[in-house]
Amino acid sequence: MTDVFTAPGRFWRGNLHTHSTLSDGVLAPAEVCRRYKAEGYDFIALTDHFIGLYGYPLADTVPFRDADFTTLLGAELHSGALENGDLWHILAVGLPADFSPPNAPHFRPVTGQESGPEIAARARAAGAYVAIAHPQWSALSMADAMSIEAAHAVEVYNHGCAMGADRPEGFHIAELMLTAGRRVHLIATDDAHFSEPDHFGGWVMVKAAENTPEALLAALKAGQFYASQGPELRGVTLDKRHVVVECSAVVAGVAMGRGNAAVARHGHSMTRIEIPRDRLDGSPWIRVSVIDAAGKRAWTNPIWIDG
Ligand SMILES: [Zn+2]
Ligand SMILES: [Zn+2]
């Protein structure tokens, strides 16, 4: 994977998981887009619940694009049951406007509908960037997660699930997937419905030459991004003995690998952190997080040691 920090282009801030009045969100699509743009976002994906109850909405956000703001078409797909019997939630960003609905009449699985792995594969084949949504909120099993072979990414921080359920995370299952050899990316999203303080809390910073749907989607698929709640990441390099992190001012930097391998460095207003990597030797992947004085975090994608 090309190093996201030295790749050409610049970072564009985006939210990949958002709802509107087309499903169970509170605000109309135009107002959702207006608010994200006003808050300094460069793009969003409006991803309403793609179920029959709402008429299988695939929001047309093209009218809300302008010179400074763009949108990716998308939806939150639902079909098939998890091991616990609940319905799958799968994020698909970059869907074609004519993506065929599954047989998913409401928020409960029905017999004969596509499985989660099947609808995820169909979305990926149609060109979408596919992510396993809110693993902790859904109480996903490892078998559930591994079954979505089409997944590009796992939602490791979901701000709506943080605010509404105190179940924000997907790191545990994502790290188990990494250690099992699955090269998934790590995304942070809002899953905003604007029904509670569930917006502007987690995003991706995507490196691309231009802020167009095509360039952003290609960069997402290539893993050219990092996830954040606030801190900026400016560089992560590995030398023989250290992971060197450059970032906005933070109070902690942590490098992690498989199993219990993790090394933290703490300090004041740190913008360059050298984290010894000997504890991480032998891990096929390394990832980094930083934490600022307000407790906000940013997270890299996994860096695969064999390239
Ligand atoms: Zn969901
Ligand atoms: Zn959602």
Per-residue pLDDT of 82-94, as tens digits, reads 999 999 999 999 9
Q: Are residues 128 and 264 in the same domain?
A: no
Q: Are residues 44 and 113 in the same domain?
A: yes
Residue that is last in its domain, among 182, 201, 227: 227
* H runs (alpha helix) in 108-226: 116-125, 135-138, 142-147, 159-165, 171-179, 213-221
**Total structural domains in the chain?**
2
CA of 60 to the centre of ligand 2 (A): 17
Mean pLDDT for all residues in the chain: 97
In-domain check, residue 3: no
Sign of torsion over alpha carbons 68, 72, 75, 80: negative
For 152, phi then psi, to 5°, come to: -80, -30
CA of 192 to the centre of ligand 2 (A): 7
CA of 251 to the centre of ligand 1 (A): 32
Q: Are residues 21 and 169 in the same domain?
A: yes
CA of 16 to the centre of ligand 2 (A): 10
Q: Are residues 108 and 256 in the same domain?
A: no
Q: Are residues 289 and 166 in the same domain?
A: no
User: For residue 298, what is the domain's CATH number?
Assistant: 2.60.40
CA of 133 to the centre of ligand 1 (A): 6
Q: Are residues 198 and 168 in the same domain?
A: yes
Residue 188 in this model has a pLDDT that exceeds 90 = yes
CA of 2 to the centre of ligand 2 (A): 30
CA of 269 to the centre of ligand 2 (A): 35
Q: Which residues have their alpha-adjacent CB atom under 5 A from ion ligand 2? A: 76, 191
In-domain check, residue 171: yes
Mean pLDDT of 216-230: 98
In-domain check, residue 86: yes
Q: What share of the chain is helix, strand, coil (3-state, %, to 5)?
A: 20, 35, 45
CA of 177 to the centre of ligand 1 (A): 20
Domain residues for 270? 233-304
What is the DSSP secondary-structure string of 164-188? HHS--B-HHHHHHHHHTT---EEEE
In-domain check, residue 203: yes
CA of 304 to the centre of ligand 2 (A): 29
CA of 199 to the centre of ligand 1 (A): 15
Q: Are residues 113 and 42 in the same domain?
A: yes
Which numbered ligand comes closest to the C-alpha of 20? Answer: 2
CA of 233 to the centre of ligand 2 (A): 26
CA of 27 to the centre of ligand 1 (A): 17
Helix, coil or strand: residue 21: coil
Taking alpha carbons only, the member of 212, 200, 197, 231 closest to residue 300 is: 231
Which numbered ligand comes closest to the C-alpha of 167? Answer: 1
- C-beta separation of 170 from 144 below 8 A: no
User: For residue 51, what is the domain's CATH number?
Assistant: 3.20.20.140
Task: List all residues 6 or more positions away from 154 whose beta carbon is below 8 Å from its beta carbon.
Answer: 131, 132, 135, 145, 170, 173, 174, 177, 184, 185, 186, 187
Residue that is last in its domain, among 204, 227, 250: 227
In-domain check, residue 2: no
Query: What's the count of helices (H) and strands (E) in the chain, helices before strands?
Result: 7, 16
Which numbered ligand comes closest to the C-alpha of 48? Answer: 2
CA of 111 to the centre of ligand 2 (A): 23
Q: Are residues 86 and 153 in the same domain?
A: yes
Residue 235 in this model has a pLDDT that exceeds 80 = yes
Q: What percent of the chain has pLDDT over 70?
A: 99
Kindly indicate the confidence band of residue 1, based on its pLDDT and cuts at 50, 70 and 90.
low
pTM of the predicted structure, to 2 decimals: 0.97
Token pair in block for residue 243: 């992971």
Token pair in block for residue 275: 């984290």
CA of 148 to the centre of ligand 2 (A): 18
CA of 212 to the centre of ligand 1 (A): 26
CA of 246 to the centre of ligand 2 (A): 32
pLDDT tens for 153-164 read 999 999 999 999
CA of 105 to the centre of ligand 2 (A): 17
Kindly indicate the confidence band of residue 306, based on its pLDDT and cuts at 50, 70 and 90.
confident
Which numbered ligand comes closest to the C-alpha of 107? Answer: 1
Q: Are residues 212 and 274 in the same domain?
A: no
What is the predicted pLDDT for the residue at 180?
Answer: 97
Q: Are residues 115 and 246 in the same domain?
A: no
Q: Are residues 31 and 177 in the same domain?
A: yes
pLDDT tens for 248-286 read 999 999 999 999 999 999 999 999 999 999 999 999 999
In-domain check, residue 1: no
Q: Are residues 243 and 206 in the same domain?
A: no
Residue that is last in its domain, among 212, 227, 242: 227
